[in-house]
């Protein structure tokens, strides 16, 4: 169900022929109201795809009636002609739905630097709008996939309101492995400023703590649409909790399906002086190619963890650092601790715990191992 | 010849048995004077190996009589016991040479977090000191190799002075793929403050512009030793030019032999507002795993170049960016330019040219592709 689990939403996913594989590639999510509250969080990359530029603009008033999404082409680095393509797609979709183009967000994912085949895309939109229904969430989630091996969907509910979500990609808002697109829906009654705050808070502690390969997409988009169709208004913290839980669920699915990965690595930084320090350390470790290769080879190479921590400005003393891998404290006081042979790295889940002994803050950043599968997928992506 | 090409130097490389492979693993470089001028540049990693801590201290007065180096163990993250090992190695070597331990630098490379087998190391030092000669440079360069497939040596000379150098590793002072150790020697007459300035300048535009995999070692060390044995004092610019040329030669050899690489990638940033901007852009592109995988697959994926540029704070307008790959301007004004099919990526050398159109600064950063060979070497390194 995902995005159509909350009352007031229809969705569809269809084959438009944008992907050479012939798999579904165009989706719509329609909010039938009564409310049209919406919020969005976008990539921080300064090179932004045409659909990101468009969706930012139309979201300025905190209102959306629908989203049209396509895989098979990112429409990024396509210049003014690419922006005109996004505009045309929005106008076309809005006309079919009887709404204004300014009430509709556009999301695209796929190759950068290539124009979209507009006739195929618009014909696909015709089909998707015609098919949009309360049972279309699964098809929509399928249609936004690129290198994803499974579609990502989640639903949370409490106190009479429901939150649903779908996602594609395998990473995050700032750095990302492939473009991350996320649509979260709810039937709660909520105003635009609150929706904006709740979505930003949810992203900060979920998608923004996944860093699969340190790369930042030109197209990352997370949208929240609220229909108000439940007629129920819950406390902001309650709705925020549901939105965060939905995003956390989807973020977990993204990292579990990252390109070529064989490990899901949870890097927990503890004893940090503050959130900024903890995040900087977590990300530095998450981006260490040498460590990610070692973990792929089931090698608990904690020296590479310390070398990555040492590149940060966080508060810590090198000879006070402790590191545990899968529960074994292999490094104590910056020197060897328990025997590394005790570490069992056979499974997919890897936990790395780094104690900075510099404060009371703890948080977790998620990443993946670096594998020949990743190299293969990303060297063959466009050829 | 390399480090023994300048007059006043002896060197040796021997098998001490630190490496399971039985390849040479201990080297010495001895400066017989008359001068003992020296300078050093070290890793900026806050987690620093014992030999780095030692060598920093003994170099405070700008004087060195010798360097002892070992592969087969980095002596990093080994705590106070590891520092005592370095101290003991320095005392032992100095006694053999009839100098003070404070006149001797120590360099180590290999696995992090493991103590050195001291009896083997000290017996190796005995052998190396006994064998040190003016023909020992090649053996010394061999003995510091780890995953290097060839040893790295260079010689430059002008106006009666000679500069020689050896290096191991495949990267740089800040980020590095594996530890980089470099010893540069000269018979020029030069004082410590000048030597320090010339070495720092040389590193800034050579080793510090190589970024093979974005990782920063705990052990990186570049040493310059001047014997004054030529009796010749040349202008500082002349000597600086020779030192820089020697470092540039060695840096080129490092990037040509980077772990698992099939491409040497020169990223030239032009039209930058300043050196800081140009460096930030060059490094961001050099660290983009997605781009490095694409180039491994002979895919001129310029969109990934733009996506990396977009993560920086450099001055530029996204719709003014031009990108050429191997001479073909595949991106003009942030949008598609010449057909990507024109780009020939068959050879090892790849040139990426990025014009920011924001100023007059140009510089080049060097990196490698990301390959399954890199993944293999770094997942199997310690296991």
Is there a contact between A47 and B287 if contact means CB atoms under 8 Å apart? no
List the single residue in A114, A299, A331 with the smallest CB-CB distance to B382: A299
Residue B178: per-residue pLDDT: 59
- Cα dihedral sign, B146-B151-B157-B162: positive
Interface residue of A43, A44, A46, A344 to substitute, partner B, most B CBs within 10 Å: A46
Residue B378, marked binder = yes
For residue A292, give the chain B residue with the closest CA. B379
User: Between β-strands B221-226 and B264-272, what pairing exists: parallel, antiparallel or unpaired?
Assistant: unpaired
- Return d(Cα A346, Cα A67) in angstroms, integer: 42
Interface residue of A44, A45, A52, A77 to substitute, partner B, most B CBs within 10 Å: A77
Is-contact B218 B44, C-beta < 8 A? no
Is-contact A215 B308, C-beta < 8 A? yes
Is there a contact between B306 and A334 if contact means CB atoms under 8 Å apart? no
- Return d(Cα B369, Cα B326) in angstroms, integer: 15
Measured in degrees and rounded to the nearest 5, phi and psi for residue A138 equal -65, -45
**Residue A119, token pair as written in the block:** 């006739």
Is there a contact between A303 and B76 if contact means CB atoms under 8 Å apart? yes
Tell me whether residue B34 is exposed, middle or buried, using C-beta atoms within 10 angstroms of its C-beta: 0 to 12, 13 to 18, 19 or more: exposed
For residue B78, give the chain A residue with the closest CA. A335
Chain A residues in contact with B318 by the CB 8 A cut-off are 46-48
Is-contact B2 B155, C-beta < 8 A? yes
Residue A128: per-residue pLDDT: 98
Catalytic pick among A78, A162, A179, A218:
A179
Q: What is the ipTM metric for this complex?
A: 0.86
Query: Does the structure show a pLDDT above 60 at B133?
Result: yes
Residue A378: per-residue pLDDT: 82
Chain B residues in contact with A75 by the CB 8 A cut-off are none
Q: Given its phi and psi angles, is residue A20 left (phi above 0), alpha (psi -120 to 50 degrees) or beta?
A: alpha
Is there a contact between B379 and A293 if contact means CB atoms under 8 Å apart? yes
Whether domain A264-379 has CATH 3.10.20.340: yes
Residue B363: per-residue pLDDT: 96
- Return d(Cα A334, Cα A331) in angstroms, integer: 6
Is there a contact between B370 and A375 if contact means CB atoms under 8 Å apart? yes
Question: Average pLDDT, whole number, for chain B?
Answer: 94
- Cα dihedral sign, B57-B60-B65-B68: positive
Chain A residues in contact with B218 by the CB 8 A cut-off are 303, 306-307, 310
List the single residue in A79, A215, A383 with the smallest CB-CB distance to B319: A79
**Residue B223, token pair as written in the block:** 């040493």
Residue A331 CB-half CA count within 13 A? 32
Residue-wise DSSP of A39-96:
EEEE---SS--HHHHHHHHHGGGSB-SEEEEE-SB---S-HHHHHHHHHHHHHHHHHH
Which residues contact residue A170 at a Cβ distance below 8 angstroms, ignoring those fewer than 6 apart? Answer: A147, A148, A176, A177, A178, A180, A212, A254, A255, A257, A258, A259, A261, A368
- Return d(Cα A323, Cα A330) in angstroms, integer: 6
Residue A378, marked binder = yes
Which residues contact residue A79 at a Cβ distance below 8 angstroms, ignoring those fewer than 6 apart? Answer: B319, B333, B334, B335, B336
Query: Which residue numbers of B are catalytic?
Result: 179
Residue A178's nearest CA partner among A314, A276, A72 is A72
Written out in words, the top-level CATH class of the domain with range A2-256 is alpha beta
- Return d(Cα A251, Cα A274) in angstroms, integer: 23
- Return d(Cα A199, Cα A224) in angstroms, integer: 7
- Return d(Cα B258, Cα B264) in angstroms, integer: 9
Is-contact A140 A179, C-beta < 8 A? no
Is-contact A271 A317, C-beta < 8 A? no
Task: Enter the DSSP assignment of A134.
Answer: T
Residue B362, marked binder = no
Residue-wise DSSP of B193-246:
HHHHHHHHHHHHTTGGGB-SSS---S--EEEEEE--TT-----HHHHHHHHHHH
List the single residue in A79, A287, A321 with the smallest CB-CB distance to B333: A79
* Strand, coil or helix: B63: strand
Is-contact B305 B290, C-beta < 8 A? no
Tell me whether residue B320 is exposed, middle or buried, using C-beta atoms within 10 angstroms of its C-beta: 0 to 12, 13 to 18, 19 or more: middle
Q: How far apart are the first and last CA of chain A?
A: 35
List the single residue in B80, B293, B335 with the smallest CB-CB distance to A79: B335
* Strand, coil or helix: A147: coil
List the single residue in A80, A301, A382 with the smallest CB-CB distance to B299: A382
List the single residue in A48, A299, A374 with the smallest CB-CB distance to B379: A299
Is there a contact between A336 and B311 if contact means CB atoms under 8 Å apart? no
Residue A178: per-residue pLDDT: 59
Alpha-carbon separation of residue A224 from A53, A68, A203, B283 (angstroms): 17, 14, 11, 35
For residue A74, give the chain B residue with the closest CA. B303
Chain B residues in contact with A48 by the CB 8 A cut-off are 310, 318
**Residue A183, token pair as written in the block:** 């649509």
Give the domain ranges of chain B: 2-256, 264-379
Is there a contact between B290 and A383 if contact means CB atoms under 8 Å apart? no
**Residue A10, token pair as written in the block:** 């229809």
Residue B176: per-residue pLDDT: 47
Is there a contact between A79 and B336 if contact means CB atoms under 8 Å apart? yes
Residue A168, marked binder = yes
Chain A residues in contact with B86 by the CB 8 A cut-off are none
Residue B376: per-residue pLDDT: 86
Spell out the alpha helix ranges (H) of chain B.
Answer: 50-58, 79-97, 118-131, 137-143, 192-204, 236-256, 275-286, 289-296, 302-309, 372-379
**Residue A197, token pair as written in the block:** 């705050």
Percent residues over pLDDT 90 in chain B = 86
Chain A nearest-CA distance from B46, in A, is 4
- Return d(Cα A9, Cα B75) in angstroms, integer: 61
Is there a contact between B375 and A78 if contact means CB atoms under 8 Å apart? no
Chains A–B, number of C-beta pairs less than 8 Å apart: 219
Residue A259, marked binder = yes
Is-contact B291 B285, C-beta < 8 A? yes
Mean pLDDT of B149-165: 95
Chain A nearest-CA distance from B16, in A, is 24
Distance from the Cα of residue A130 to its chain's centroid: 28
Residues of chain A with pLDDT under 70: 170-178, 381-383
Residue A177: per-residue pLDDT: 46
- Each residue's pLDDT tens digit, B337-351: 999 999 999 999 999
Query: Does the structure show a pLDDT above 90 at B290?
Result: no
Query: Does the structure show a pLDDT above 70 at B162?
Result: yes
Is there a contact between A45 and B214 if contact means CB atoms under 8 Å apart? no
User: Between β-strands A335-336 and A328-332, what pairing exists: parallel, antiparallel or unpaired?
Assistant: antiparallel
Chain A residues in contact with B81 by the CB 8 A cut-off are 335
Is there a contact between A289 and B215 if contact means CB atoms under 8 Å apart? yes
């Amino acid at each position: 169900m995902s995005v159509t689990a909350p009352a007031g939403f229809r969705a569809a996913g269809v084959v438009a022929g944008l992907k050479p594989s012939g798999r579904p590639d165009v989706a719509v999510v329609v909010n039938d109201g009564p409310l049209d509250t919406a919020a969005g969080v976008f990539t921080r990359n300064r090179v932004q795809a045409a659909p990101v530029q468009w969706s930012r603009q139309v979201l300025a008033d905190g209102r959306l009636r629908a989203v049209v999404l396509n895989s098979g082409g990112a429409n990024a680095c396509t210049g003014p002609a690419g922006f005109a393509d996004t505009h045309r797609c929005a106008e076309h979709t809005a006309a079919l739905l009887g709404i204004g183009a300014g009430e509709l967000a556009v999301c695209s994912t796929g190759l950068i630097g290539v124009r979209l085949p507009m006739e195929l895309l618009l014909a696909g939109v015709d089909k998707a709008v015609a098919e949009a229904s309360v049972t279309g969430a699964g098809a929509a989630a399928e249609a936004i996939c690129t290198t994803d091996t499974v579609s990502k969907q989640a639903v949370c509910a409490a106190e009479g309101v429901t939150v649903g979500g779908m996602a594609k990609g395998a990473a995050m808002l700032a750095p990302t492995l492939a473009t991350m697109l996320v649509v979260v829906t709810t039937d709660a009654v909520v105003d635009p400023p609150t929706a904006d705050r709740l979505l930003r808070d949810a992203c900060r502690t979920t998608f923004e703590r996944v860093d699969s390969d340190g790369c930042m997409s030109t197209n990352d988009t997370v949208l929240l649409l609220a229909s108000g169709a439940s007629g129920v208004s819950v406390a902001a913290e309650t709705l925020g909790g549901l939105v965060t839980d939905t995003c956390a669920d989807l973020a977990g699915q993204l990292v579990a399906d990252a390109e070529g990965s064989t490990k899901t690595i949870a890097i927990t930084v503890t004893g940090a002086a503050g959130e900024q320090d903890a995040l900087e350390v977590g990300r530095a470790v998450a981006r260490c190619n040498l460590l990610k290769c070692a973990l792929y080879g089931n090698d608990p190479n904690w020296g590479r963890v310390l070398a990555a921590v040492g590149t940060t400005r966080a508060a810590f003393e090198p000879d006070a650092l402790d590191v545990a891998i899968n529960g074994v404290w292999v490094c104590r006081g910056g020197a060897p601790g328990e025997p590394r042979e005790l570490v069992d790295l056979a499974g997919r889940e890897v936990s790395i715990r780094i104690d900075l002994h510099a404060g009371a803050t703890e948080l977790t950043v998620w990443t993946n191992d670096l594998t020949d599968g990743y190299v293969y997928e990303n060297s063959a992506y466009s050829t």
